[in-house]
Each structure stands twice: as C-alpha cells, then as structure tokens.
Amino acid sequence: MKCFKFKSVISAVAMIAAMGAFSSVVAAPAKAAKPAKAAQDEVIKIVRVDDSNFEKEIMNTDRPTILDVFSSSCPPCLIMIPTLIDIAKKYPDVKVASVGFDEPNVQKIKNTLPIQAFPTFFLIKDGRIVNRIQGAASEEDLLAALQYTPKAQPAAKPAKAKKTGTQKLSCSTNGQFSGIQNHVTMNLVITDDHIDNVDLVTDVFVPPEMDGRRDQLKQMFIQSGKGTVEETITGFRLHTANESPFIKAMNMQRKSTYAEMKAGLELQGFKCK
C-alpha cells in the first residue's frame, strides 16, 4: 500500500513546542495520604494530541501508533472509547493517540490529514500512514491495519478481584456538527469492570436562521440510523439507547471500569459527575 509521508507535508509543525498530554505523574509528598481521585494518566494510557505536540507524539515516535480523530458529537466515536482503552492497556509497545476535530489548536492537523468522517483511525509506523479506517472498528481490525503484531503485557500474578459494585456515570459536553450547536450527554451503568448500560442523548439546537431547514435536518438524523429522533422547542433530540439497533450493530466493547470510562470521556472534553 502506498504510504502517506508526514514529514513532506507539515515541516512547519516542527517549530511548535512539543507538549505531551497525559504523560506526567505527580508524586505525593512523603507520608501524604493517597489521593482519592487517580490522575487520568494513571488510568488510561492514551495521548491527547494537538498542533503543539503532533510533531513529537506522531511524526517522531518510534512506536507504532493508532491515531483516533474524533468528534464529541459522533456516537460511534464514543462507542470506540472502551476499545481504545483496552488496546492502550494491553499493548504498551503500541501508542494510542487521540485528537478532537472540534478542539482548538488543531488547524495544522486538519490541513494535513485527509479527514472525511468520524471517527477516522490513522495507522502510523515510522512517521508514515500505512493504513486508514473510517468508522467504528474492532480491536482486531485496528491491529491488523497497523501491520504490526503487538506484544501483550506480561501476565500479572493473580490478584484478588476488587469489587466496586454498580456505579452510575454521567458525562456531558457542548459540541457542534456542520456548524449546528448541540449538547451531548452519555449515561453509563458500570458494574466492576463491565459496562451494563449505555444511554446517549444529543440535543441539537437549530438556530432561527436555519428554521426553514428544520425538517431536512431532522430527516438527516433519522436516516443516520443512530437512534430515535423527536422534536424539541429548540430543535430536536437524538436518543441512542442501550438496546438500539445502532448500539448492537456497533458491537460495543463493554470491558472497562468506571475510572477508565470517566478518564476516557474527560479526554474527549466531557465533564463527568
């Protein structure tokens, strides 16, 4: 397969200071109590990327890399979070990186990468794109497209399973899609390290100047097949429930803990409670 060479396209990015995301761990003072809330980089090993650290983390890394380009308004992007967490946990020799298309300071990345859909996964080796996948994909598909056989973490000594019981997680963020503002809320029910239920609500706000296109926009969301659509005062609501055909078709991986999913969603700009 013909490879896309990064360095010939974005040499200007080399002038930007590299800032690693989720890469530092702050040590607690001696005799200090252990923090109740774990730092995100202690929970998941996914690197957040923007123009400032793209050169360091993607172009010049010596590790095979899966780069996830996502939008917070994209249900399949959210469905992929547990899969990316699992790859990052199991295969330390593979870098998993993530860039938010709607985030600030990503214009050079947008101008460099051929992005036409969300999520898009760029599989990178030695500074070259060796493959690209659009849409949700399984762990097996991503690793195969990377053209690399990763080394799994050495098996740890069996430890007594820590039971946390059932916990509820609610995370939300403001986003946009094609210039239309929306508010996305993801609710999860998690027992120990398994996601029992996922419920995704996207409230779309249709501005007055686009009110004449309201029916057209509504039909676009209905035809996407991502859930049920109902009109609201300010626009309409897209509801993707746990048992919806869309969630079942995505075959969402469910093996993630509360802390991992909270950190994964916060990595994508969500505020959780």
pLDDT tens readout for residues 192-251: 999 999 999 999 999 999 999 999 989 998 999 999 999 999 999 999 999 999 999 999
pLDDT over 80 (residue 271): yes
Please choose, from the candidates 114, 110, 118, 130, the residue with its C-alpha nearest in 3D space to the C-alpha of residue 49.
110
Largest distance between two CA atoms of the chain: 64
Mean pLDDT of 74-92: 95
Q: Please report, as a single letter, which amino acid is at residue 127.
A: G
Tokens of 100: 């938010």
Mean pLDDT of 137-159: 84
Q: How far apart are CA 122 and CA 197, in angstroms?
A: 29
**pLDDT at res. 160:** 59
Residue 30: C-alpha distances to residues 24, 25, 33, 42, 206 (Å)? 18, 15, 9, 19, 54
pLDDT over 80 (residue 161): no
- Catalytically active residues are 74, 77
Burial 59-78 (b: 16+ CB within 10 A, else e): bebebbbbbbbbbbbbbbbb
Alpha helices, DSSP H only, in the chain? 40-43, 54, 75-79, 81-90, 107-112, 139-145, 214-224, 245-250, 258-267
**pLDDT at res. 12:** 33
DSSP 151: P
The distance in angstroms from the start CA to the end CA of the chain is 45
Whole-structure pTM value: 0.80
Q: How far apart are CA 135 and CA 121, in angstroms?
A: 8
Q: Are strands 95-100 and 65-70 parallel, antiparallel or unpaired?
A: parallel
Q: How far apart are CA 44 and CA 116, in angstroms?
A: 27
Q: Which helix (H) or strand (E) holds 38?
A: none
Tokens of 197: 């239920």
Tokens of 24: 């530092």
Please report which confidence band the pLDDT of residue 5 belongs to, taking 50, 70 and 90 as the band edges: very low
Q: Which helix (H) or strand (E) holds 35?
A: none
